[in-house]
Amino acid sequence: MMDIKIVLIGHRGVGKSELLVRLKSYFPQFHYFDLDAVIAEKLANPVYKIFETFGEEYFRSKEVEQARLILNKKDVIVSLGAGFNLENLPEDVICIWVRRPTDSDGRIFLNRPTLDPKLSPLEDYLARFDKRQRKYFEKADFIYDMPEGISILESKTLAKKGVLIQEKNLFKEFLFRTGKKCKGVLTLNPYNVNTRLAFETVEFRTDIFSAKEIIRLVEIFGKKSKMILSFRKDNVHDLDELMDILPSFYAVDVDSELGAILDQINAKTSTAIRKKLIVSCHIPDIDENTKTLDSLVKVKSKAIVKCSPVIQSFTELKWLYDWYMKNPSGRMIFPRSDEDSKNSDWQWFRHFMLSKQVLNFVNDGFSTVPDQPTLLDTFLYNDSFTQFAAVIGNPVHHSYSPVFHYEYMKKRNMPYYRIKIEEKEFDEALDFLEEIGLQAASITAPFKEAAYRRYQPRAGTDIKIKSINTLYLSNDGKAHIANTDTMGLMKTLTQISSEVFKKDLQKLTIVLWGGGGVVPAIKSEVPSVHLVASRDGKLPKGTKDIDILIWAAPRSLLTQVPKNCTIGAVFDLSYGGNSMGLELAKQHNIPYFSGLEMFKEQGRGQQLFWSQFDERK
């Protein structure tokens, strides 16, 4: 065996325990421990009871005690609680930080203790978030950006083309160092320079490493990976210091503002080295960026150019892509999201370009560029293709759809992305997406009615509720539209009426709180449902008792919650961890039913619909 000791760290509810179970199925030769479960077994009490009875300080002491005992063993992988004091870990332990895009949204738990009873469940999570986030980053040896929804996949999906097999492949490379190289370019920095993974290409930047350090890194990585030397304006080394090792590099990348370095390379280096030259520009404004590169190519260099502007809209993205397509062999494009954007706007486009450009940068978790594909993405999205599918909405960073539909689309040689669109540019965005190959889509809030208006004239058929969540575009330009929103709705409502009320559904008072584009679909299935605008919050006159509250409102300061009434059960159309419907159920101890099963039924319905028009059959 390997005598390896690994701990999984990360925020509450991220999925460490579930990942531990999957790792055990992938690699049974290791010994696996869920620290919370170990403590609960030792003290013969669930964790929340230990907190309630003895307090947090006592629980933390037991964490350290049991962790030390476990980590004295060989070949162990341990899942730690979010609040474990990482300073108590031995030096020889490898820390894997497990994180998800929704970590910063916060999570609410029906079955876990609130650590500070003075705070709401969500406030309790967020109060600890920033401090824990910093600790995880400082301690992490490896960061696993786990996709949303991977926990819903069943073990039978460990198929040749499934997400789980690619997760297994990623961890196989990490654990056993087989030497198989990860796709893409990894920019090295002090945090990842000792990476356990092998990469096709690594980049050394002069604003990160000294000339002496770069020379040393060439000795280490020269036999393992192709290398790129990048001169950046923030810390420019004398070219003479690095002249002797220039032939070692696959490419030499010079920032467009470093005219003197460009002149030196053109004057002092061989033709072979000049052929490796890339000129890059990171000026935020797209017009200034492309003009700078075009000018340099005309005047100073015939190098390949790399354009990385901040892109603010689909109009700008289309402009950038059109510029690239005028000379795809001589240009590379890497759109960046605005720094104020909470989540990446253009990661999907970086995925789209993975098989189209010579170089593509990867984010191993230690990068500051959120638009770069993650490590797992490079395993999932590396095949060439002509058409693609997507979930389209705003927000979409929380969506399970890319994971749910991955294998179905992979069999049809179509990647499936999550694409966020601003409402004001819906049609412009869809024009561009269709132009570059969109064929199938899951339409989510707030675009279900807008999508109906756009595509119904091309469909030749109508939908009574005038709202769609499923789209397929044939190669002849015809649109096929459907709404699977209500699939699973009646099944869950019937389950609630039976389990909670022991009554027929028709005898219950059902209120839909919010809903937007899903209202017509639900109204068509449950005509007696009472509709309440979530910003208004006014119940129908005379209604004091709600049997089933269908929660379909977003988390917002403007969203009201029901007042002066009793609620028998909450059916939350969301499956997110920070839903206000979930919070309402926890605060008032109301039976809670997630929309996850309904989501799965909707997804299966979408796949059945798409299969009718699959032109690859």
Order across the sheet with 479-482: list the strands: 416-420, 388-393, 438-443, 470-473, 479-482
In angstroms, the CA 322 to CA 293 distance is 15
What local confidence, expressed as pLDDT, does residue 169 receive? 95
Confidence of residue 172 (pLDDT cuts 50, 70, 90): very high
Ramachandran quadrant class, 339 (left: phi over 0; alpha: psi -120 to 50; beta: rest): alpha
d(CA 108, CA 125) in angstroms, rounded, equals 8
Burial of 361 (0-12, 13-18, 19+ CB in 10 A): buried
Nearest-angstrom CA–CA distance, 435 and 322: 11
As a CATH number, domain 5-153 is 3.40.50.300
SS3 per residue for 65-131 = HHHHHHCCCCCEEEECCCCCCHHHCCCCCEEEEEECCCHHHCCCCCCCCCCCCCCCHHHHHHHHHHH
Considering the chain, what is the average pLDDT of its residues?
93
Q: How far is 177 from 161, CA to CA, in rounded Å?
A: 22
Secondary structure E strands in 207-260: 226-231, 251-255
Least confident window among 131-140, 170-179, 227-236, 568-577: 227-236
For Cα atoms 265, 267, 272, give the angle at the middle one, nearest 5 degrees: 60
Whether residue 158 has pLDDT greater than 70: no
Neighbours of 423 (CB within 10 A): 9
Q: What pLDDT is recorded for position 233? A: 79
**556-to-223, 482, 534, 535 alpha-carbon distances in Å:** 53, 29, 10, 9
Residues contacting 174, CB < 8 A, separation 6+: 142, 196, 197
46 conformational bin, left if phi > 0, alpha if psi -120 to 50, beta if neither: beta
In this structure, what token pair is assigned to residue 87? 């300073």
Q: Which CATH architecture has domain 179-379?
A: Alpha-Beta Barrel (3.20)
Instruction: Look at residue 154 and tell me whether its pLDDT is greater than 80.
Output: no
pLDDT for the residue 155: 58
pLDDT at 299 over 90: no
**165 phi and psi angles, rounded to 5 deg:** -65, -30
Q: 191: helix, coil or strand?
A: coil
- Residue 303 confidence class, pLDDT cut points 50, 70, 90: confident
Check whether 119 has a pLDDT greater than 80: yes
Which of the 8 DSSP states describes residue 398? Answer: T
Query: Topology of domain 489-599, per CATH?
Result: Rossmann fold (3.40.50)
Structure tokens at 335: 């759109």
* Residues above pLDDT 90, as percent of the chain: 81
Separation CA 310–CA 253 (nearest Å)? 19
- What are the residue boundaries of the structural domains of the chain, listed by start? 5-153, 179-379, 383-483, 489-599
pLDDT at 51 over 90: no
Q: Which of 494, 511, 512 is nearest to 503 (CA)?
A: 494
pLDDT of residue 614: 78
Q: Check residue 244 and report its DSSP letter.
A: G
The CATH T-level fold of domain 383-483 is Rossmann fold (3.40.50)
Q: Which DSSP string do the residues of 513-535 spell out, in sequence order?
A: EE-GGGHHHHHHH-TTPEEE-TT
Identical fold at 179-379 and 383-483?
no
The 10s digit of each residue's pLDDT in 326-342 is 999 999 999 999 887 66
